[in-house]
Structure 1
């Protein structure tokens, strides 16, 4: 467990994997979660990679600088982590806003990345008006009233019924997220539109969707895969937090893409 102190905020991060010669893999969490959303991936992939996980600014144990944030702010946080850890190049995997962060990095610092995995994301997520309304709601009422609707967006009814403990732990973390951090990232989402720029991405890229995702539909991931220079799309069983809902298949897909 480590902290990286940056001007105005600090980033909490962890490193897993015992082989110092293994390639690096960075995981970036989604809005309202923390680095533990990747626990099922680390359990398997740390045998093959050095894994850097971190809490996006304003989430988990990272501090929440005053909002608003921009997508460039979120991408620059990753660059600062790579520099601090003297990581010249790394694979990158991000989900939702983490996937937008990965797109920004591949556009603006593609030379620092190897392969890129974008999960349950889009080149533009939602509308500026929708995110502004969400920010106002959260500032007034906090995150707890959004928990039930979040559960419905993030997980299918079947998974919620079968794995209440897993779902409950994720939602507990959601409700504990800093209001400033959540609102700041909503502002980053409101201003993020990479639909034209993603054509610049030259890194090998895998776009993974959840086949029942109401937030970022499979067509959003197909759009990305079709417009980057080397892209592939596939859809797995589940909703928005697809790496948790279909973790075994997700791990197999990542391992195949990264090692072959």
Structure 2
């Protein structure tokens, strides 16, 4: 479905179920050069088990219009505006990588509107090397290859993710190319990485969050190693850490572990 947010359409995948604002709602927020599809197993399961699901494409990429957010703070405001536009009083926010910082900042800015917070593959600070930032502009194919090398700990997912025979590296590279090409005016690769690298308010934001927080980390994550989430976890009021056997691409490398952790946390 498309939701008008700040004068532009934001696409939200509903998991195959009609949107019903009366149900408890979970909003999924993807990372740099990803889209709603990275949450395919988790979003569909929750949509068919009592949850209202909105797995969004961030503005200015994928199926969403508008301008891509230039900062974590700007993106957080979009998420909160989305809740208002959809008539949702309170929602669980689930974010991966860049999306985890967006979810964190949104929960800090408007605690009353967030019931649960899930930070997947998160870190603070989420520093991006100058070489990778430069490559995202001057050699995006090289940068995409680098990101995928460091994001995956295995070649193929279990059947519950994307089906037998799926090649995680190839599929992820194809998605990233598609997202980069979806905006011909702004380099959403560089913009997203720069937003991650520039975000300085993580610890203050975590201290301002009132709801329970789940940290979902990958044991073999080279992009945001498990230890990189400790600075945030130390400032959380009600936190739980779950480590799964995966790299940075947790949702497709360990889909069932991620789903079960989400299911159990949201049910508590």
Q: TM-score, normalised by structure 2?
A: 0.86
Match of 1:187 in 2: 194
Match of 2:183 in 1: none
How big is the shift at 1:164?
A: 4.0
Match of 2:138 in 1: 140
Range that drifts further, 187-196 or 162-171: 162-171
Range that drifts further, 108-117 or 186-195: 186-195
8 Å CA contact 2:3–2:86 kept in 1: the answer is no
8 Å CA contact 1:214–1:240 kept in 2: the answer is yes
Instruction: Quickly say closer, same or farther: Cα 1:199–1:165, change in 2 above 3 A.
Output: same
Match of 1:149 in 2: 146
How big is the shift at 1:22?
A: 2.4
Q: Does 1:220 align with 2:228?
A: yes
CA distance in 2, matches of 1:64, 1:172: 23
Match of 1:62 in 2: 64
Q: Secondary structure at the match of 1:176?
A: helix
8 Å CA contact 1:22–1:50 kept in 2: the answer is yes
Instruction: Quickly say closer, same or farther: Cα 1:181–1:64, change in 2 above 3 A.
Output: farther
How big is the shift at 1:19?
A: 7.9
CA distance in 1, matches of 2:133, 2:71: 14
Structure 2: state its 5+ residue gaps: 159-163, 181-185
Instruction: Quickly say closer, same or farther: Cα 1:26–1:195, change in 2 above 3 A.
Output: closer
Q: Secondary structure at the match of 1:144?
A: helix
Match of 1:12 in 2: 11
Structure 1: state its 5+ residue gaps: none
CA RMSD of aligned residues (A): 2.3
How big is the shift at 1:51?
A: 0.2
8 Å CA contact 1:207–1:224 kept in 2: the answer is no
Flag as ranges the 4+ runs of structure 1 deviating above 6 A: none
Count matched residues: 254
